[in-house]
Amino acid sequence: MANEAIIRVENLGKCYRLAHEARHDTLRDSLAHGAEGFARRLLGRSAARATSEEFWALRDISFEVQRGEVVGVIGRNGAGKSTLLKILSRITEPTQGRVHLRGRVASLLEVGTGFHPELTGRENIFLNGAILGMGRAEIARKFDEIVAFAEVERFLDTPVKHYSSGMYVRLAFAVAAHLEPEILIVDEVLAVGDAQFQQKCLGKMESVAASEGRTVLFVSHNVAAIARLCSTCLLLDQGRLAFAGNTAVSINRYLSATQQSADGTVALTHEGWVRGAPVKLLSITFNRGQPLLNRQPVEVMLRFSADREIHVGFGIGFCNVEGRRVVTWESDYSHQLHRANQGEHTMTLTLPRCDLIPGRYRIDVGAFGPQHQPHHYFPDCCQLDVQPGPQTPPHLHSVHGEWRPDGTWSLTSS
User: pLDDT (tens digit, 9 = 90+) per residue, 194-221?
Assistant: 667 777 888 888 888 887 788 999 988 7
What pLDDT does 392 receive?
86
What pLDDT does 95 receive?
93
Cα–Cα distance list, 11 to 36, 55, 82 (Å): 42, 17, 17
- Residue 102's CB: how many other CB atoms inside 10 A? 14
What pLDDT does 15 receive?
92
What pLDDT does 94 receive?
93
Q: What are phi and psi of 80, to 5 degrees?
A: 110, 10
**What region, left, alpha or beta, does residue 80 occupy, with left being phi > 0 and alpha being psi -120 to 50 degrees?**
left
Q: Which fold has domain 55-256?
A: Rossmann fold (3.40.50)
Kindly give the pairing relationship between strand 265-267 and strand 279-286. antiparallel
- Residue 187's CB: how many other CB atoms inside 10 A? 21
User: What span, in angstroms and rounded, lies between the C-alpha atoms of 237 and 348?
Assistant: 30
The answer to whether residues 279 and 375 touch, using CB atoms and an 8 Å cutoff, is yes
Instruction: Give residues with Cβ within 8 angstroms of 153, minimum separation 6.
Output: 147
Q: What is the pLDDT of residues 46-78, one digit of tens each?
A: 554 556 678 899 999 999 999 889 999 988 777
Number of residues assigned to the chain = 414
| Region(s) of the chain under CATH 3.40.50.300 | 55-256
User: What span, in angstroms and rounded, lies between the C-alpha atoms of 187 and 86?
Assistant: 10
> Per-residue b/e over 138-158, b at no fewer than 16 CB within 10 Å?
ebeebbeebbebbebeebbee
Residue-by-residue DSSP string for 239-307? TEEEEEEEHHHHHHHHHH---B-TTSEEE--S--SS-S-SEEEEEEEEGGGPPEETTS-EEEEEEEEES
What pLDDT does 331 receive?
86
Q: What are phi and psi of 354, to 5 degrees?
A: -90, 115
Torsion, CA 229, CA 234, CA 238, CA 240, rounded to 10: -160
Which residue, 33, 200, 180, is CA-closest to 104?
180
User: What span, in angstroms and rounded, lies between the C-alpha atoms of 251 and 231?
Assistant: 12
Q: At what angle do helices 121-131 and 165-178 cross, to 10 degrees?
A: 40
What pLDDT does 52 receive?
65
- Residue 44's CB: how many other CB atoms inside 10 A? 6
Name the CATH superfamily, with its identifier, for domain 265-387.
Answer: abc- transporter (atp binding component) like domain (2.70.50.60)
| Region(s) of the chain under CATH 2.70.50.60 | 265-387
- pTM of the predicted model as reported, rounded to 2 decimal places: 0.63
Q: What is the mean pLDDT for each group of 10 consecutive residues in the chain (414 residues)?
A: 78 82 57 63 57 83 92 85 90 92 83 79 89 83 90 90 83 83 81 70 83 86 80 91 91 69 73 73 88 91 91 91 84 79 93 90 88 81 85 80 86 87
Which residue, 268, 297, 272, 301, is CA-closest to 286?
301
User: What span, in angstroms and rounded, lies between the C-alpha atoms of 106 and 216?
Assistant: 10
